[in-house]
Structure 1
Amino acid sequence: MRTIDWVPAEGQSPGHIRLVDQKLLPGTLSEVDVHSVEQLIDAIQDLSVRGAPALGVAGALGVALAAQNLSADSAREVIAKLRAARPTAVNLAWGVDAALAAFDEGGPEAALVAALKVRDDDIAACEAMAERGTELLSRLLPDRPRLNVMTICNTGALAAIEHGTALGVVEKLHHDGRLALAVACETRPLLQGARLTAWELKRMGADYRVIVDSAAASVLARGGADVVMVGADRIAANGDTANKIGTFALALAAAHAGVPFLVVAPESTIDPDTADGGAIEIEDRGSEEVCSFAGVRTTPEGTAALNPAFDVTPAGLITAIVTDTRVIDLGASQVPAHPTEAA
């Protein structure tokens, strides 16, 4: 299963995008065929497709879709809307920009080639992060042959293409016989942990438990997890990291418990143009998700809510960032430029 992919043209039918509708999980595993960028934008904004790496691939494939179906001017207009569909996650804009540059230079076919490369690079990056992450855990926790791992939101294959970021490391630990227990925070208000991470953990056959978000600090303080691993939607130049709301609280709790706190994300999530976390735009998704549950109102009529979808964890609370090409020890004052960037 791939979370999102390109369906090649067949006969008179042009190519299009196919994605897993994550809103229906865990009850129903269903795929949706996307034939327009407007449809893709809707799927991104209603969280049918979500997760930083998957959004990067969605952005790139969206450019290819626009390029093959629209005039150049119309394509660029709708591509601009796609790029802005979710402002906190840098990967969406990054994927759009990668395919758009190819489109500007070589036309629709070049855009598709670039988009498919973004997809394939994501698969390889997730495999590399799993390797680096498990190696780092062996160094950080050499006396723990089997680990209890806590995580938040969903950072598995559903957030990427075939594998995940933080949950990809958990998956490798499981396959290597080194995972004792995965502890998944439910992740209010949309329960990406309870719905999606638990679904993936069950499919891989791992031992897991779901906890309410507010139990995480207590579980950590009582020794219930050896490490916390999370993903990222944007990493600033100084190492401040935006991720699903609740991550900052988890990092504070991990620091209190003396537990390593690891961010696992591809290099494409590092945004050198964003100096620190204060410059990251935080998406607010409105009151409805907080004031109701499964379509049933849980607050008095007329109640408004603050609903930030993300928070920013300061670099000082992060033990290390694991990417597809390196491990960054955040004892330094900022994320150093990658060697290829410095060159």
Structure 2
Amino acid sequence: MNHVVTAFCRHDGRILLARRSGDAGTYPGRWAGISGYVEGSTDDTEPDARREVSEETGLTSLELVRAGDPLHLVDGDDEWMVHPFLFDTETRDVRPNEELAATEWVHPTAIRDRATVPELWETYRRVAPTLETVQTDETHGAAWISIRALEVLRDGAAEAKSWDTVAELADALRDARPSMAAVTNRINRVMAEPDGDPKAVCRRAERAIDAAVAADREAAAVAVERLETDAPVQRVATLSRSGTVLATLRGARPAVFISESHPGGEGKEVAEALANDGLEVTLTTDAAGPGLVLDGAVDAVLFGADSVLATGDVVNKVGSVPLALAAARASIPVYAVCARDKIRGDDTFVGEGGGSLSSAEGVTSENPIFEVVPADLVTGVITEWGVLDAGEIATVAAEHAELGDWADGDDGSRKG
């Protein structure tokens, strides 16, 4: 039996497909992931996957997302054991070698319409994001998770035979992270056209992923411009892991003071990423952050946002309120940067708990992960459309509330 690896490289919701050269020993001219024979242990094939990606594409900065269960397949006289992998990469800059006739960054659903190596869709599905991915991720921010939710909807709609199947999946994705407005709004926008066609949902989900990536990137660009025109800002305090904040800091390149962010400690990852990019970074405890702000260590506080309520209040990781209060006392600005899709259609705060703090009898725990920063402590909510005031936030909230109407028709039945 031949053991091979198939690696899918993902960037901003699309994966890299490669067309095998006409001289390939197997399946010449077919589309595939990045694949090759296992040369090491069949019990540890990740090094083989990384080697093949590096040799065939030049991509070396790879973050392992998932190693899938091996897929056994028989094709004529050939028997294969395929070991699938999914990697995230920070770039689409590919330098293909002679083994590849062409490469293309596509939505994975393109696999279903191309002449591929055997069972490529099934191989991808073994590493693709799932409902559980959306439900259980405790490391990434809401923007990242919302794009994973759209990927799940896209892939599910590509396979679905009925509208009801797609609608049930969309409901489950909205319920998976009720605190994250971006998940709800982006799913609702895809489902809001009641055409009853799963394939149309798939196409809209593909467009929604591209639009979400662009919106998050543009919001960061607006935030960079704002920081550079405020004095300019040279020292920024933040916490937690927001991809939009990370992009903003990489663009503006201030000195950064970042709180470690309990209970997940994701602030440490952000600190290391920024330091690797050459920024001056100070990692501190959550409790010490407000004191540093009061001592004049920073010029501004910059948050991401789990959600923005219709009132303009900002929902973010616990620790945000003390930083905002300290900033008010120190008379420095507090910004929340996010795409408009993080604005909720209502003013309801949906929190998430971080588990018990004590097992002792008689001791109850209050261990929230998120909290509400009042609007009067936030200088501005920076989006891809600029800095929104309270009236503009309310207008967007009303639009987002209407998107949710897809789930029920006038008679109480599901639309579509």
Over 3 Å counting, the alpha-carbon distance change for 1:112 and 1:246 in structure 2 is: same
Matched residue, 1:95: 186
Shift of 1:7: 4.1
- Tell me the equivalent position of 1:173: 252
Q: Give yes or no for contact 2:143–2:216 (8 Å, CA) kept in 1.
A: no
Q: Using structure 2 for the length normalisation, give the TM-score.
A: 0.63
Question: Using CA pairs below 8 Å that are at least 6 residues apart, which structure has the higher relative contact order?
Answer: 1
Counterpart-to-counterpart distance in 1, 2:64 and 2:138? 10
From 12, 30, 33, the counterpart of 2:64 = 30
In 2, the alpha carbon distance for the partners of 1:122 and 1:266 equals 8
Match 1:217 to one of 290, 298, 309: 290
Equivalent of 1:155 in 242, 250, 256? 242
Identity of aligned residues (%): 27
Post-superposition shift, 1:254? Answer: 1.0
2:375 paired with 1:315: yes
The alignment of Structure 1 onto Structure 2 pairs a total of residues equal to: 295
Q: In the alignment, what sits opposite 1:137?
A: 227
**Does 110-119 or 29-38 show the bigger shift?**
29-38
Q: What letter matches 1:256 in structure 2?
A: R
Give the secondary structure class of the aligned counterpart of 2:13. strand
CA separation of 1:309/1:113 partners in 2, compared to 1, >3 Å: closer, same or farther?
Answer: same
**Greater Rg over alpha carbons, structure:** 2
Q: Does 1:80 align with 2:171?
A: yes
When residues 69 and 304 of structure 1 are mapped into structure 2, their CA distance, relative to the original with a 3 A threshold, is farther
Give 1:61's aligned amino acid: E
Whether the aligned pair in 2 keeps the contact of 1:6 and 1:61 (CA below 8 Å) is no
Question: How far apart are 1:304 and its partner, in Å?
Answer: 5.3
Q: Which runs of 5+ in 1 are unaligned?
A: 15-27, 157-164, 292-298
Contact 1:228/1:262 (8 A) holds in 2: yes
What is the rounded CA distance, in whole Å, between the counterparts of 1:8 and 1:67 in structure 2? 21
- Matched-pair contact (CA < 8 Å) for 1:284–1:309: yes
Partner of 2:149: 59
Tell me if 1:227 matches 2:296: no
Cα-to-partner distance string for 1:196-246 (whole Å, 9 max, x where unaligned) = 312321332212111100001110011111110001121112211111111
* Structure 2 equivalent of residue 252 of structure 1: 325
Residue 69 (1) aligns with residue 143 (2): no
* Residue identity matched to 1:97: N
Partners of 1:95 and 1:44 in 2: how far apart? 13
- One-letter code of the match for 1:151? T
What is the CA–CA distance in structure 1 between the aligned matches of 2:381 and 2:155, rounded to whole Å?
A: 33
Give the corresponding residue for 1:306.
Answer: 366
Answer whether contact 2:129 2:152 (CA < 8 A) is retained: no
Write out per-residue CA displacement over residues 254-304 of structure 1, whole angstroms, 9 at most, x where no aligned residue.
111111100001011112x31x3xx211122422xx56xxxxxxx769965
Match of 1:208 in 2: 281
| Equivalent pair of 1:37/1:62 in contact (CA under 8 Å) | no
User: 1:60 offset after TM fit, Å?
Assistant: 1.7
Report the alpha carbon displacement of residue 9 of structure 1 after superposing the two structures with TM: 8.8
Write out per-residue CA displacement over residues 75-116 of structure 1, whole angstroms, 9 at most, x where no aligned residue: 3323311210111111111222233346x5273432232222
Q: TM-score, normalised by structure 1?
A: 0.75
Question: How far does residue 36 in structure 1 lie from its aligned partner after superposition?
Answer: 7.9
Task: State the match for 1:243 in structure 2.
Answer: 316
Give the letter aligned to residue 311 of structure 1. E
